[in-house]
Amino acid sequence: MLNELKYDILIIGGGPAGSSLAYFLSRKNMYRIALVEGKPWKDVWGKPCGNAIGAHHFAERRLVEPPSEAIKQVVNGVEIYSPREDVVLRAYGKGFIIDRTRFGQYLLKASMDKGVEVFLSSHAKKLLIENNEVVGAQAVIDGGEKIIHAKIVIDATGAASPLRKQLPPHLPVAEQLDPRDSDLAFREILEIGQDIERPDFIRIYLDQNVAPGGYWWYFPEGRNQVNLGLGVQNGVNNPDPRTQYRKFLLARKDVQPVLKVISSAGAIVPTRRPLDSLVWNRYIVIGDAAFTVNPVHGGGMGYAIESAYCSSLAIDHAFEKSDFTVNGLWETNTCYMPNIGAKQAALEVVRYFLQKLSNEELQFIMEKKIVSEEDVDILSRKAELKSDVIANIQGALSDLGKLFRGLKKPSLLMKLKKLSDYMEEMKKLYRNYPSTPNGLDAWRESVKALVESYRREFE
Ligand SMILES: Cc1cc2nc3c(=O)[nH]c(=O)nc-3n(C[C@H](O)[C@H](O)[C@H](O)COP(=O)(O)OP(=O)(O)OC[C@H]3O[C@@H](n4cnc5c(N)ncnc54)[C@H](O)[C@@H]3O)c2cc1C
């Protein structure tokens, strides 16, 4: 007979998603909460990462900002470099390069102080499913097998999302990741023997030779430390990001001399729109496990927090109504999908479009200022191509007859216009996300048709 434990809420995974949910829920002091995390205290939030997060995520969700000991660098903006590195778009906005483990420990400690029971170095092996609902999980806690019962189980296990695979496969919430909708990313944190110019600007480089289907980054962590890495599209026979890193990045003048490699690791990043539904009966999935990552830049910490916030609202209301079914938890979807989901679905179209561009085309778009600094800002905040972009495209098109006859650019510019249309259509669908589970099947069909259409268009 296995030892049995009982809670109101069981959170599996104590990364950005799971620990911020524990933090949100614990503020109410109303629930018995257990959080099970595979890693020990010294490694919490230990997934390799670029460590960059926008400050707005904290303000919008009333999550405490990282304390000073968890901030490695305050960021004032981002610079995006063209393939030849001669055109730079600079967008302003406050953010942080954080020490993930320190911030993770800070959030977990605050939750524990409010009564959350955190089981570290412990592992949830199996979801317990009875009569079409998740009733708990089987876990190894402190080396011993336990059955944990809970009214709601939260899956915050990250991109590999091992537990979701145990759900009935026909459920929207059980959809698996197509490897092509993900990046393989690798990064090192280097101590370097030179002073970094403008350490308050993170840098993103577009170059299909170095990072095919992705980008490479140079994120200063102070004056003499850099988080240097890249992501390449997975599932399409691209070269290994580690090989690319050693071949192209490590040799660069702006990291020489390397005094010390502080950390070296890689992992997978989902780059698709979120799962069509984040809930089932007595079950919610958040963070990377639900693909809540920005599909263009791969930033997922902020959206792990956002999805945790939406689920915390749904959980509060589910307890008020004592309804833990898919209906009772649906608010997780109606909070996330019409807002952040809409933006991420539109950015999935942008990602697909960008992955098909050559270096020459990327260089052209940046050089001709078809996309300006302001557009980058609007694109990242609202997932919109501003009307100016369309005007710029039309202006460039009218010159093209003379300037670029014989080159592929007219079709590229037409495609940019199409891109803008698809983004708008996608956002419209997500803004009309069904208010109850009844409308989900029809809505999914519409999304599927639109995805197939934009993929045919940009193939
Ligand atoms: C190289 C790289 C660079 C990145 N750069 C950035 C960046 O600069 N900015 C940004 O915002 N995002 C970045 N990301 C993405 C970001 O790391 C993730 O989006 C974020 O960590 C997701 O948080 P999460 O809590 O959903 O998942 P995770 O961080 O993966 O946390 C999941 C947790 O669940 C635990 N777990 C898993 N299974 C079990 C189980 N069965 N039982 C118990 N515990 C379990 C794991 O130990 C882990 O701690 C990057 C990713 C990579 C790979």
Please tell me the predicted confidence (pLDDT) of residue 459: 87
> Average pLDDT for residues 145-149, to the nearest whole number?
97
DSSP 373-426: HHHHHHHHHH----HHHHHHHHHHHHHHHHHSTTSSHHHHHHHHHHHHHHHHHH
Quote the number of domains for the chain.
Answer: 3
| Backbone phi and psi for residue 283, each to the nearest 5 degrees, phi listed first | -140, 135
What does the block give as tokens for 300? Answer: 């997922």
H or E stretch at 187:
strand 182-192
CB 45 within 8 A of CB 21: no
Examine the domain organization and report whether 191 and 173 are in the same domain. no
> Average pLDDT for residues 244-248, to the nearest whole number?
98
Examine the domain organization and report whether 31 and 115 are in the same domain. yes
Examine the domain organization and report whether 128 and 160 are in the same domain. yes
Examine the domain organization and report whether 210 and 309 are in the same domain. no
Please tell me the predicted confidence (pLDDT) of residue 33: 98
Distance (angstroms) between ligand 1 centre and the Cα of 289 equals 9
Q: How far apart are CA 163 and CA 125, in angstroms?
A: 8
Which protein residue has the closest C-alpha to ligand 1 atom 47? 38
Label residue 407 by pLDDT band (50, 70, 90): very low
Residues 214-242: pLDDT tens digits?
Answer: 999 999 999 999 999 999 999 999 999 99
Examine the domain organization and report whether 306 and 192 are in the same domain. no
pLDDT for 389 beyond 50: yes
Which atom number of ligand 1 is nearest to the Cα of residue 219? 8
Examine the domain organization and report whether 34 and 123 are in the same domain. yes
The residue segments making up the domain with residue 301 are 3-51+100-177+272-329
Vertex 233, ends 228 and 236: CA angle to 5°? 140
Identity (one letter) of the amino acid at 26? S
Residues 89-114: pLDDT tens digits?
Answer: 998 999 999 999 999 999 999 999 99
The CATH number linked to 246 is 3.30.9.10
Which of the two residues, 8 and 388, has the higher pLDDT score? Answer: 8
Residue of 163, 269, 340 to test ligand 1 pocket, by largest number of atoms within 8 Å of CB = 269
Please tell me the predicted confidence (pLDDT) of residue 60: 79
CA 353, chain centre distance (Å) = 18
Please tell me the predicted confidence (pLDDT) of residue 380: 67
Residues with CB under 6 A from ligand 1: 12-18, 36-39, 47-53, 123-124, 156-158, 162, 185, 187, 229, 266-267, 269, 287-289, 293, 298-302, 304
CB 341 within 8 A of CB 293: no
The CATH number linked to 169 is 3.50.50.60
Examine the domain organization and report whether 258 and 222 are in the same domain. yes
Examine the domain organization and report whether 164 and 307 are in the same domain. yes
Examine the domain organization and report whether 401 and 419 are in the same domain. yes
Examine the domain organization and report whether 237 and 195 are in the same domain. yes
Residue of 99, 107, 301 to test ligand 1 pocket, by largest number of atoms within 8 Å of CB = 301
> Is residue 428 domain-resident?
yes
Identity (one letter) of the amino acid at 42? K
- β-pairing, 33-36 vs 3-12, is parallel
Residue of 36, 49, 71 to test ligand 1 pocket, by largest number of atoms within 8 Å of CB = 49
> Is residue 25 domain-resident?
yes
Question: Pick from 301, 329, 357: which residue ends a domain?
Answer: 329
Please tell me the predicted confidence (pLDDT) of residue 370: 78
Examine the domain organization and report whether 449 and 388 are in the same domain. yes
Residues 309-357: pLDDT tens digits?
Answer: 999 999 999 999 999 999 999 999 999 999 999 999 999 999 999 999 9
> Is residue 65 domain-resident?
no
Which of the two residues, 268 and 420, has the higher pLDDT score? Answer: 268
Which protein residue has the closest C-alpha to ligand 1 atom 38? 157
> Is residue 335 domain-resident?
no
Cis omega (within 30 of 0) on the bond before 66? Answer: no
Distance (angstroms) between ligand 1 centre and the Cα of 304 equals 9
- What integer best gives the mean pLDDT of the chain? 93
What's the N-to-C CA distance of the chain in angstroms? 56
Taking the whole predicted model, whether its pTM rises above 0.85 is answered as yes
> Is residue 120 domain-resident?
yes
Identify the bridge partners of residue 285 per DSSP, sorted by sequence position: 155
> Is residue 74 domain-resident?
no
CB 192 within 8 A of CB 226: yes
Length of the chain, in residues: 459
CB 88 within 8 A of CB 82: yes
- What is the side-by-side strand order in the sheet with 258-270? 52-54, 88-98, 71-81, 201-205, 215-220, 225-233, 182-192, 258-270
> Is residue 369 domain-resident?
yes
> Is residue 72 domain-resident?
no
Helix axes of 409-431 and 387-403: crossing angle, nearest 10 degrees: 160
Q: Quick one: what percent of the chain has pLDDT higher than 70?
A: 92
What does the block give as tokens for 30? Answer: 């109303």
Q: How far apart are CA 194 and CA 256, in angstroms?
A: 7
Examine the domain organization and report whether 119 and 201 are in the same domain. no
> Average pLDDT for residues 424-450, to the nearest whole number?
97
